[in-house]
Amino acid sequence: MTNLYSFCSFCGGTLVTEKQHFKCSKCSKLTFRNPAPCTAIFLIKANKVLLTIRAIEPFKGMLDALGGFVEPNESFEDAAIRESTEEIGFAPTNLEYLCSFPDTYLYQDVYYDVLNVSFASYMDKDIEFEPNDDVESVKWFKYDEIDFNLVAFDSVKKALKFVKQKLK
Ligand SMILES: [Zn+2]
């Protein structure tokens, strides 16, 4: 795996791991290893939760939550609404904070540290979703119907335990 932080962005010197950050071997400036914020949103309808089937790597074909990376100048809530709109053409309005878990995301041979913040949103009517973007399709699941071996990310597996409490 490639290390995301190999060289100092100030002077190009080699970075050395020091606790939770990196120190430049030439200019001594620190590079911080902050996780990338990302968000998951779980639509809930009575006793069911909506999960997606991933259209792209990593974990293509596996189960995931709606959501994705927070962009500059966005709140977690804004990101959750934007991602849901991009992925299924539906903008949830009543977000409820559920939980947050650290995780990793493998992309182009690099493991990125992420911090996944999860929300629930409740709906009572049927809506025709339009899967798009990195979502192949979506499906409603009762909790007991979810095969956790097919869930792509650990943070989503952990968040689903919180979702369980919210299902009727
Ligand atoms: Zn440097």
Rounded CA separation 24/55 (Å): 39
Count CB-CB contacts under 10 A for residue 27: 11
Contact 103, 114 (CB under 8 A): yes
Cα(35) to centroid of ligand 1, in Å?
A: 21
Cα(100) to centroid of ligand 1, in Å?
A: 33
**Who contacts 44 (Cβ-Cβ below 8 Å, separation ≥6)?**
50, 120, 121, 122, 123, 163, 166, 167
Chain CA centroid to CA 107, Å: 13
Strands 48-54 and 135-142: antiparallel
pLDDT tens over the chain, length 168 residues: 567 788 999 999 999 999 889 999 999 999 998 999 999 999 999 999 999 999 988 889 999 999 999 999 999 999 999 999 999 999 998 999 999 999 999 888 888 999 999 999 999 888 889 998 889 999 999 999 999 999 999 999 999 999 999 998
CATH 3.90.79.10 domain extents, the chain: 36-166
Cα(13) to centroid of ligand 1, in Å?
A: 5
Q: DSSP code of 61?
A: T
pTM (2 d.p.): 0.90
Q: Is 149 helix (H, G, I), strand (E, B) or coil?
A: helix
Cα(24) to centroid of ligand 1, in Å?
A: 5
Q: DSSP code of 144?
A: G
Supply φ then ψ for residue 80, to 5 degrees: -60, -45
Rounded CA separation 5/106 (Å): 15
Q: Residue 123 has what pLDDT?
A: 93
Question: For the domain with range 36-166, which CATH number is right: 3.40.50.620, 3.40.30.10, 3.90.79.10, 3.40.228.10?
Answer: 3.90.79.10
Q: Residue 115 has what pLDDT?
A: 98
Rounded CA separation 111/134 (Å): 19
Cα(12) to centroid of ligand 1, in Å?
A: 6
Cα(3) to centroid of ligand 1, in Å?
A: 17
Sign of CA dihedral 59, 130, 164, 83: positive
